[in-house]
Amino acid sequence: MKTIETPQHLYGNTPPTILRNREEKFRTAKDTPFWLAIADFVFKRMLERRFHSLMYKGIENIEMRDKTKAMLFYTNHNNWWDGILGFSVARRIMHGRLRLMIEEMNRFPLFQYIGCFPVNKKTPQDAIKALKYAATTLDKPDINFWLFPQGIIRPPHYRPEVFQSGLAYLTQNAVKNFGGVNLCPVSVNYTFLRQDRPEIVMEFGNVQTYYEFNYDRKEFCKELAHEFEIFCDNHQKQIASGDFTGYRYLWKDRLSWWRDIERRLKNIGMKDKQ
């Protein structure tokens, strides 16, 4: 008898690298022009075919960063698209280089050449190896590190927000080794609005630049998680109320042929009434 997968297995607290228990070769992140060009083309096509638009606001907050330091974006991790979205932000909005930790990157080894590197959570030693390497990548102002501080995929609007210690570790080491780092929260919602495909609605929060780190790591992450939860809740409330003030489009698809016909038919009806 065929086993049917049930919805309760969609989310869990055990990282994939522990569940699958496979060896993972560590790969350092590279920026290879050929593969970056391929990824630019492929990811752009993928996003624009699956989503009607990507709208974002808060870019003025990013302009307030220290432009001599790297950017560390921390955001919610709800689905498979998050990494591709991070690549698009780094390349198409920030015009910089991506750094992203990926579990089970042995399934996508080519991602090494577009700025990604693996994190294996089978043991604490494996995880700290990835974090130590990650801290060395925050050395240039064109670096855009895309971090999911929850450490695992969570359902949309999961509460409470709980951050693992990696965000504090990276901040502390960037301050120590490179004199500072910019931190920026990013709230991402994948939602249906008035189109036949979902839209990506993204908000960049206030940038905080750290030149010193005199905090307890756990308390630092706890405080940022609390602020991030409020930030995301406010973002969701704006969407729920239909408030899209200040947004701009990275792209917006044209009407499909049948929606265009529908619009024209409606216009004909309106003219008849006049």
Q: 3-state DSSP call for residue 22?
A: coil
Q: 3-state DSSP call for residue 156?
A: coil
Strands (E), the chain: 53-57, 71-75, 97-102, 116-118, 143-147, 181-191, 199-204, 208-210, 248-252
Q: What is the pLDDT confidence band of residue 219, given thresholds at 50, 70 and 90?
A: very high
Is residue 257 pLDDT above 60, yes or no? no
| Number of domains within the chain | 1
Indicate whether 32 belongs to any domain: yes
In this structure, what token pair is assigned to residue 51? 């989503």
Residue-level pLDDT at 271: 56
Is residue 255 pLDDT above 70, yes or no? no
Share of the chain above pLDDT 90, in %: 75
Pick the range with the lowest mean pLDDT from 21-35, 51-65, 142-156, 258-272: 258-272
Indicate whether 161 belongs to any domain: yes
Amino acid identity of residue 37, one-letter, is A
Range of the domain at 183: 7-273
Residue-level pLDDT at 5: 60
Indicate whether 236 belongs to any domain: yes
Indicate whether 12 belongs to any domain: yes
Global pTM reads: 0.89
Indicate whether 1 belongs to any domain: no
Inter-residue contact 235 to 189 (CB < 8 Å): yes
Report which of residues 10 and 266 the model is more confident about.
Answer: 10
Residue-level pLDDT at 16: 78
Handedness of CA 73, 77, 78, 79 (dihedral sign): positive
Indicate whether 237 belongs to any domain: yes
Pick the range with the lowest mean pLDDT from 19-23, 90-94, 182-186: 19-23
Is residue 1 pLDDT above 70, yes or no? no
Residue-level pLDDT at 254: 78
